[in-house]
């Protein structure tokens, strides 16, 4: 099992550390050639406009779509969830989603007043009690398509979901030191 973490901008190091703690080989992906042979790719949180610009500059849009079509699972956290979506609500004019997952995601959904917060989440299929969600200028998921399962809801808004070979979380599971969401992705989404 080899999992890549897109390492153009944002919180990629923490994902790599969490994967390594689980005994999973993790690769910091900076070039499209590194996608070959990966079972999965994590697109981290950060700034979706910056990550998207760098992805476009280095040819990642086509390369990620191609590898995903060949079986590479993809998980986006926060900015990564925005980039995976079918549609970005409140996108900047030149911001393009990868359209890997049948979800619509609203950027900066919580606005300025409560733009960052933590909350205990009831995350479906995880045992061991609530999962601490760290939300940083987070989006939420406003629509899920027919093949998408909702995994967590916070105050009426969808904050985690999965489909076949895809998962999106609008919070940052790599910042809590709790590896259960990473474990779930490896065991249940990769190869699905």
- Mask 131-160, x = binds ligand GLN (CB under 6 A)? -----xx-----------------------
Give the footprint of ligand GLN on residues 7-66 (CB under 6 A): 45-48
Q: Which positions from 99 through 138 interact with ligand GLN, judged by CB under 6 A?
A: 107-108, 136-137
| 95 touches ligand GLN (CB under 6 A) | no
Nearer to ligand GLN, 47 or 118 (CB): 47
Q: CA-CA distance, 59 to 31, in Å (whole number)? A: 9
Cβ 46 to ligand GLN shortest distance, Å: 5
Q: Is 78 in the active site? A: yes
For 49, how many CA atoms within 13 A lie in the half-sphere containing its CB?
A: 7
Distance CA 111, CA 172 (A): 18
Under 8 Å CB-to-CB from 96, ≥6 apart: which residues? 52, 56, 61
**CB nearer to ligand GLN: pick between 1 and 142:** 142
> Which residue in 82, 103, 161, 168 binds ligand GLN (CB under 6 A)?
82
* 125 assigned to active site: no
Q: Given the complex with ligand GLN, which of 99 and 137 has the nearer CB atom?
A: 137
Q: Which stretch binds ligand GLN (CB under 6 A): 18-26, 60-68, 76-84, 158-166?
A: 76-84
Stretch that binds ligand GLN, among 56-64, 75-83, 122-130, 141-149 (CB under 6 A): 75-83
Interface residues toward ligand GLN, by CB under 6 A: 45-48, 78-79, 82, 107-108, 136-137
Report, as residue numbers or ranges, the catalytic residues.
78, 172, 174
């Amino acid at each position: 099992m080899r999992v890549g973490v897109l390492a153009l901008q944002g919180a990629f190091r923490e994902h790599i550390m969490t994967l390594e703690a689980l005994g999973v080989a993790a690769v910091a992906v900076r070039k499209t050639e590194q996608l070959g042979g990966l079972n999965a790719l994590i697109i981290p949180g950060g700034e979706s406009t910056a990550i998207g610009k760098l992805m476009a500059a280095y040819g990642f849009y086509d390369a990620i779509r191609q590898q995903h079509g060949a079986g590479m699972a993809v998980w986006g956290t926060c900015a990564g969830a925005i980039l995976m979506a079918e549609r970005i609500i409140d996108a900047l004019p030149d911001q393009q989603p990868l359209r890997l997952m049948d979800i619509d995601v609203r950027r900066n959904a919580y606005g300025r007043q409560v733009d960052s917060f933590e909350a205990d989440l009831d995350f479906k299929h995880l045992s061991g009690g609530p999962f601490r969600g760290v939300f940083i200028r987070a989006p939420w998921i406003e629509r899920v398509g027919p093949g998408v399962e909702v995994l967590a809801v916070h105050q009426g808004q969808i904050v985690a979901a999965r489909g076949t070979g895809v998962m999106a979380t609008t919070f940052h599971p790599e910042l809590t030191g709790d590896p259960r969401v990473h474990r779930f992705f490896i065991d249940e989404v990769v190869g699905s």
